[in-house]
Amino acid sequence: MQRFIDVANTLKNEGVSTRVISAALMTASGVYTTYTVAGNAGGLNESGVEKVTEAYRQSLQNIQRAKREEQGQ
């Protein structure tokens, strides 16, 4: 994770918009997640998309919870 953040910060420091960087990271994650589930030749069906969406949701919720705990909230 830290290596991806380091690359993102390098791009930001080079003047790339953080919104563009975030979109690129999300797209790359989606492409790689699809690959890990379906391989090079396949794609996710609707239930697969729902499962991945739920996994992302849980990850974001965990991150937000950890951030609140760090801030003593």
69 phi-psi bin (left φ>0, alpha ψ -120 to 50, beta other): alpha
Whether the per-residue pLDDT at 73 is higher than 80: the answer is no
Which one-letter DSSP state was computed for residue 14? T
Count how many domains the chain has.
1
pLDDT at site 12: 98
Which domain, by its residues, includes 33? 2-70
pLDDT tens digits, residue range 19-72?
999 999 999 999 999 999 888 888 999 999 999 999 999 999 999 999 999 998
**What SS3 state is found at 15?**
coil
CA 30 from chain centre, in angstroms, equals: 7
pLDDT at site 40: 87
The sign of the CA dihedral 14, 59, 42, 39 is positive
pLDDT at site 55: 93
Task: Write down the pTM of the prediction.
Answer: 0.80
